[in-house]
Amino acid sequence: MDRHKLKCIAINVNSLISKQKRHYFNLFLQKHKPDVVLAAELRLSDKHNISFRNYSYVPQLMKTHTDNKNSQSTGIFIRENFQYNRIEVERTTYLETTAIELLTSDGNRIAIAAMYNRLSKTDKLCTSDLLKVLNALSARTNEIILGGDLNARHPSWGDNCTNTNGRVLFNWLSECPLLKVLPTANPTRTSGGCNSFIDLFIVSPFVTVCFDNDSEHYCKLRTHYFESDHRAIELCLDRSQNDILRQPPRKIIDYKNINSDELNQQLSAMLKNNCLALDRVASTTEIDNCISHLNVAWEKVINSEAVPKIEIRSKGLISLPSIILDFIKEKKNCVGQCSDVQIQDAKKYL
């Protein structure tokens, strides 16, 4: 696969709360180098500070009508220098989503949404939620990519059985001929010996997809292992990374190296003719003009060479030593064993 092609990955991370899981996710980013990651089941809250080197994080803002927890189930990680806009989606009932649009050099846009729908008797996938997402994205562009875990099983995309979410999604897609599911070469989730294809990419016909030429992956998407009960799915577009507009790196003032003398001289020169009259009460207009002149002068000085700037980038994570990772795994095993013993002891007294 051409490494210069635009690469999107959808993955159910099964929580990014722990440092251990973030470490594995960081290694995953370093290995596969995706341009956009549509993440589901993050289980994050506003108190969690997420940062991965060379990536910006776009969190889920809108909670569903039925979500009583202060958590983010979806989010998008995007290359830090890519220009994008957040897309606001009308509040949904069950489907959780985060949506953005990438700005391209040819003046077009690529609308992308990360989606997650829980599998429960109450939180069922519904067409009204899907339509809200589609309407929000199609209002921006005809290049649409939906990706995530909808907990929807159906033989049409490789599964060996059908569930309620799968029937809802299949019927909805039958009524939306401009959208199609891209099948994966392997199951995306394995649990209890049961394989399922529930992590999906759904695209519009205006999105040109690149597939591998080998027989195993012919017209099917690759999957990648991740430290979760889900596999990541990879979608490569027939667009170069260079097609995406870049945004300049963020900068902050380098207070340590400010030239104070030059700053004061420039500011004094700009403000010398901005004095209010002292022999009378200034009018409202004069005060407003004075404040406006102060703001303009300060803005010019701040952006001058007298005030140096430094670029800021996402710091990312400090890699954890293998001995620490082994300790965390052993701790989890011990906690699980202790819980089993407590349950068995409790049953003796029932």
Closest CA to 76 of 110, 105, 108: 110
Q: How would you classify the pairing of strands 109-116 and 96-103?
A: antiparallel
Residue 43 in tokens: 């289980």
Q: Would you state the pLDDT for residue 318?
A: 54
| Residue 186: CB atoms within 10 Å | 18
Closest CA to 217 of 234, 203, 201, 200: 234
- What is the Cα–Cα distance from 85 to 57, expressed in whole angstroms? 12
Sign of the C-alpha dihedral computed for residues 88, 91, 92 and 96 taken in this order: positive
Q: Would you state the pLDDT for residue 199?
A: 96
Q: Would you state the pLDDT for residue 1?
A: 42
Q: Are 95 and 125 in contact (CB under 8 A)?
A: yes
Q: Would you state the pLDDT for residue 204?
A: 96
**Below-50 pLDDT ranges, the chain:** 1, 215, 350
> What percent of the chain stands above pLDDT 90?
48
Q: Element (H or E) spanning 230, and its range? A: none
* Nearby residues of 178 by Cβ (< 8 Å), 6 or more positions away: 204, 205
Placement of tokens 């029937």 in the chain: 167
| Residue 286: CB atoms within 10 Å | 13
Residue 72 in tokens: 């983010």
- What is the Cα–Cα distance from 258 to 307, expressed in whole angstroms? 5
Q: Rg (Cα) of the chain, in Å, rounded?
A: 26
| Residue 239: CB atoms within 10 Å | 21
Sign of the C-alpha dihedral computed for residues 335, 337, 340 and 342 taken in this order: negative
**Tens of pLDDT, residues 132-167:** 999 999 999 999 999 999 999 999 999 999 999 999
Q: Would you state the pLDDT for residue 343?
A: 54
| Rounded alpha-carbon distances, angstroms, from residue 226 to 12, 67, 288 | 9, 27, 59
234: three-class secondary structure by DSSP: strand
Residue 21 in tokens: 């899981």
Q: Point out which residues pair with 38 in neighbouring strands.
A: 10, 76
101: three-class secondary structure by DSSP: strand
Q: Element (H or E) spanning 116, and its range? A: strand 109-116
Q: Point out which residues pair with 58 in neighbouring strands.
A: 76
- What is the Cα–Cα distance from 128 to 93, expressed in whole angstroms? 8
Question: Crossing angle of helices 284-302/260-271, nearest 10°?
Answer: 150
Q: Element (H or E) spanning 210, and its range? A: strand 209-210
Residue 164 in tokens: 């309620």
pTM: 0.75
